Amino acid sequence: MGIGKYFFKISECLADFFAPRRCLMCGRINPRGDFAYICESCKASIPYITGGRCLVCSEIVGPANSPNLPSCPRCLENPPHFSKSFVACSFSGVAREIVHELKYRDGAHLVKDISKILSKSQGISEFVSNATLVPVPLHRLRTLKRRFNQSVLIANAIARAFPNSGITTENILVRIRPTPTQTTLDRASRAENVRGAFAIRKPARLSGQSIDKTKRIVIVDDVMTSGATLSECARTLKAAGFKNVDAFAFAKRI
C-alpha cells in the first residue's frame, strides 16, 4: 500500500470514529463493503428495475426480465414531450431512503453510493452515452433552503459512474416560479402545477460555446411519478429548438 493510500485509510478510520456512518436502512454503524451508507445485508434489497417497461414513459409493463415495449397505452393516450426515458430503481426501500436523505436530510454525501448503484443498473451506460445531462432545476428559494439541487448531484453521479461515456452536464434550464410539491397531486394536477414553470437559462451556453441544438439532451430528476415535471422540462427545451430530448430518473413510483 502506497503512503498516500495508507494516510487515506487512517483518515477514514478517524472519520468513522468521530463521525460514525450508519446504514440508511438498518442503522448499522460504519458498514463495510461496496457502499459507504448501505451495509452488505441491505444492499441485496436495492430495488433495481428489471421488469419489462415502456421505453417512452418507463411504466412497468411486465414481470422481471420480460421484454420492454416501445410504448404503452398510458403514453399513447397522453404522450410526454420527451422521446424516451430510463429509470434505475423503483421508489421503495433503499432508493426511497436515498431520495429522502437527499431532499430532507442534507444527503450530498450519498453521491458515491448513488454512482455505484447506477453503475450496477443494466442499460444506463448505453442510455446516457454521449448525452448532455440537464438537471431539473429547483427554484432559487428552495435551493437556498436545501443548499444544493439533488438532480444536479444525481447528474454528477451518472457522470462519475460512466467516466468514459462522453457525458457532459449543463444547467440549461431555470425554474422561473416556485411550485408546490407534487407528492399529493393527481396526474392532471401535476401537469398543471408545473406548466410554464421552466425557462431556458440566459445566456444559454454549452461548455462555453453556443448551444448545439441537435445534441442529445437527457433531463435528470430524482423521482418520476407521472413524468409531468420531466415532460414540462422537455417541452421547454423543444420550444427553444432542441431536437433530441430524453429523460432519466433515479427512481420511479410504481
For residue 127, the one-letter residue type is: F
| 8 Å CB contact between 43 and 34 | yes
- Please state the pTM of the whole predicted model: 0.89
Residue 8 has pLDDT above 70, yes or no: no
Tens-digit pLDDT profile for residues 104-140: 888 899 999 999 999 999 899 999 999 999 999 988 8
- Rg of the Cα atoms in the chain: 19
State the DSSP H helix or E strand holding residue 11, giving kind and residue range, or none if neither: helix 3-18
Q: Give me the pLDDT at residue 180, please.
A: 65
Residue 7 has pLDDT above 50, yes or no: no
| 8 Å CB contact between 18 and 33 | no
Tens-digit pLDDT profile for residues 184-241: 666 777 777 788 889 998 765 555 556 788 899 999 999 999 899 999 999 999 999 9
The C-alpha atoms of residue 121 and residue 66 are separated, in whole angstroms, by: 16
Q: Would you list the DSSP string of 33-68?
A: SS-SSS-HHHHTT--B--EEEBTTT--EEEEETPPP
Q: Give me the pLDDT at residue 178, please.
A: 80
Which position has the higher pLDDT, 206 or 244? Answer: 244
Tens-digit pLDDT profile for residues 58-112: 999 999 889 999 999 989 899 999 999 999 999 999 999 999 999 888 889 999 9
- Highest mean pLDDT (candidates 26-35, 83-92, 174-183, 193-202): 83-92
The C-alpha atoms of residue 136 and residue 172 are separated, in whole angstroms, by: 9
Residue 170 has pLDDT above 90, yes or no: yes
**Cα dihedral angle (150, 151, 157, 160), rounded to 10 degrees?**
-130
